[in-house]
Structure 1
Amino acid sequence: MIRKKLVALTALFGAAAMTLSACGASNTGGGSGDSSSAAGPSANIDQKWANCDPASGAKDTSSMDADSKKDITIGAFNGWDESFATAHLLKYVLDKDGYNVKVEGFDAGPGYTGLAGGDIDLITDSWLPLTHADYIKRYGDKLESMGCWYDNAKLTIAVNKDSKAKSIADLESMSSDFGNTLYGIEAGAGETKVVQDTMIPKYGLKKMQLKVSSTPAMLSQLKKATAANQDVAVTLWRPHWAYEAFPVRDLADPKGAMGGAEKIYSFGRPGFGKDNPKAAQLVKNLAFSDEQLSSLENIMFSDSKYGGKNNDKAVAEWAGQNSDWIQKWEQGKLTGNQK
């Protein structure tokens, strides 16, 4: 989200709108999203939120007693895959320890309102320093920060791994390799606007046609092309399960046209840490690498797996395959780059 300061902010604002829209639609992984869920970019950006190392406040919880208060409600943002992935993962671990955890879907506005009012105990999907800046400006003094757990939330242009293209700049000279087409998502998605208004002009992509359609259509084309060993270019974003499901990689963006990376934070309601010290510490211990998060989301949301239809069962399957990771999480030994 990146002419010196004014242009940098302009790019940031465009990327923010796109990021908010492209984080997921009905657990399919992207799309137009819910524009009403964004407070909107403003002068409220506080760069202190850009400085966070995942799990920086980690401690060993394995010897801690379970909290006396065991009823916990976690709010997940409708259509944002990583929201439901982290919420149900927390539910899985806490339920095993005797808690009664509910995951409820909200649009961002009602979610933050409910959290500040104490009706929701946790939210695990706050994008900072930009996308959710206004919400944190409005409610932050009432919320308890549980730290960040992911540090690479961003918009991308992705291609098949064996493509000769290395940078977005290569798309113009190599356009014929990709059928002169960049497969996009919904017309109303923020990422679509960023690609049309910023990325394409900055890189002078005159030969490449942006095909605006839908997230499912983009993913279908990605699946079809990679299965046929054909070059393909798509608009994508991190985190997304497509990085696990398909052999794809990001193109370098030397002009910063797609914006920079944000951090994803967790926040608790007022008093949550005092009422639920063990659960709060477990949240603080959470840290995901791209590979781990893509793997979890792939099992939960891809059509070849659970397709977003049984999140608890999907998480249980993933946890069974990643028991060492679960143990390190409980012991406070994870980092953002943990493999």
Structure 2
Amino acid sequence: MFKKSRVFASMLAVGALALSACGASNTSSDSGSKSNDAASSKWANCDMHKGVKDASSEKADAKKDITIGAFNGWDESFATAHLLKAVLEKDGYTVNIKAFEAAPGYTGVAQGDIDFLTDGWLPVTHADYLKKYGDKLEDLGCWYDNAKLTIAVNKDSPAQSIGDLKKMGDKYDNKLIGIEAGAGLTKQTKKAIPEYGLDNLEYTISSTPAMLAAIKKSQADGTNIAVTLWRPHWAYAAFPMRDLKDPKGAMGGKEFIHTFARTGFQDDFPKASQIVKNLILSDENLSSLENVMFGDDNFAGKDNDAAVAQWLSENPDFIDQLTTGKL
């Protein structure tokens, strides 16, 4: 799994938790070699409503201390961890969030040192971890079903599919703005460029903050822009961006994000487990939550709990819908 760092963009603070992050690593560099296995994997499909039910009338759990693992640099990991922390603490639990790289995070859950993590990417990205630790993990369900790598443009620009950039490159200054050289997104884009014959474009490999700063500048200047991006990402809420269609599937297939708990967690915390199982996030909810938490015009990653509190105040029905299984 990719090493990811949170790099601050000093000029604009865009990417205040640098986000080379989740999307950059949400298709690993060897994803192509796993694609056939993924198609037949038990994780190849996601039913977000499986196991969802009303937890509001369930008996309170005797145990109250819960530890959630979050993956360094993966914004949706911290967004969901702090969101569930707020919900569970409102119900009387004491929640601690610990940050890990993906490998030690899975190890910690498998060994029982962490109660659960919310950022299990399947069927490709974390397949090796499930192969290694699957018999020591409890699947609490998938909460997001649209994780993918993309090439995105400003909404009011002409291109509709990736292939359009071959003939419309001049509308985008003949540039495709990328992120870090070592990111899985960058490697996948390098494979997609020849698939669509985009040799006319200058593929700029820089950093996630630089890519986000370029989007912000293009919005201010009223110019078109094409960038490499990924879902989930708060840029979709912060800026009017849309994904280009990928009819050849050159950017890879979509993945699903699961929550995995330690063995015995559901027995120890039946009510808390049900609340976690009820979590379902739409693109709109997740991107708006991440935008409040990490967007440069909001909390910029400086106070995740305060950011979640603000988001919940703006979405007053969310906790009740989550608890009653109505998301």
Cα pair distance change 1:238/1:79, threshold 3 Å: same
1:290-329 counterparts in 2 under 5 A?
290-329=283-322
Cα pair distance change 1:156/1:79, threshold 3 Å: same
Cα pair distance change 1:243/1:22, threshold 3 Å: farther
TM-superposed CA distance for 1:66, in Å, is 2.3
1:56-71 counterparts in 2 under 5 A?
56-71=50-65
SS at match of 2:179: coil
One-letter amino acid of the structure 1 residue matched with residue 253 of structure 2? G
Q: What's 2:130 paired with?
A: 136
TM-superposed CA distance for 1:32, in Å, is 9.5
Conservation of the 8 A alpha-carbon contact between 2:176 and 2:226: yes
Conservation of the 8 A alpha-carbon contact between 2:23 and 2:232: no
Q: What's 2:248 paired with?
A: 255
Q: Is it true that 1:158 corresponds to 2:152 in the alignment? A: yes
Q: What's 2:166 paired with?
A: 172
TM-superposed CA distance for 1:170, in Å, is 0.5
Conservation of the 8 A alpha-carbon contact between 1:33 and 1:79: no
Q: What's 2:18 paired with?
A: 28
Q: What's 1:246 paired with?
A: 239
Q: Is it true that 1:97 corresponds to 2:91 in the alignment? A: yes
The CA distance in 1 between the partners of 2:236 and 2:4, in whole Å, is 14
SS at match of 2:43: helix
Q: What's 2:206 paired with?
A: 213
TM-superposed CA distance for 1:226, in Å, is 1.6
The CA distance in 2 between the partners of 1:67 and 1:94, in whole Å, is 11
TM-superposed CA distance for 1:25, in Å, is 4.2
Cα pair distance change 1:31/1:280, threshold 3 Å: closer
SS at match of 2:284: helix
| Equivalenced residues, count | 312
Q: TM-score, normalised by structure 1?
A: 0.88
Cα pair distance change 1:82/1:33, threshold 3 Å: closer
Q: Where does structure 1 differ by over 4 angstroms across 4 or more consecutive aligned residues?
A: 20-26, 31-35, 38-46
The CA distance in 2 between the partners of 1:22 and 1:284, in whole Å, is 29
SS at match of 1:193: helix
Q: Is it true that 1:284 corresponds to 2:277 in the alignment? A: yes
Q: Is it true that 1:87 corresponds to 2:81 in the alignment? A: yes
The CA distance in 1 between the partners of 2:305 and 2:311, in whole Å, is 10
SS at match of 2:290: helix
1:175-254 counterparts in 2 under 5 A?
175-196=169-190, 198-254=191-247
Q: TM-score, normalised by structure 2?
A: 0.91
Q: What's 1:269 paired with?
A: 262
SS at match of 1:85: helix
Q: What's 2:10 paired with?
A: none
Unaligned runs of 5+ in 1: 1-19, 335-339
TM-superposed CA distance for 1:195, in Å, is 1.1
The CA distance in 2 between the partners of 1:62 and 1:32, in whole Å, is 32
One-letter amino acid of the structure 1 residue matched with residue 267 of structure 2? K
Unaligned runs of 5+ in 2: 8-16
TM-superposed CA distance for 1:329, in Å, is 1.1
The CA distance in 2 between the partners of 1:31 and 1:200, in whole Å, is 22
Q: Quick check: 53-62 or 290-299, which moved more?
A: 53-62
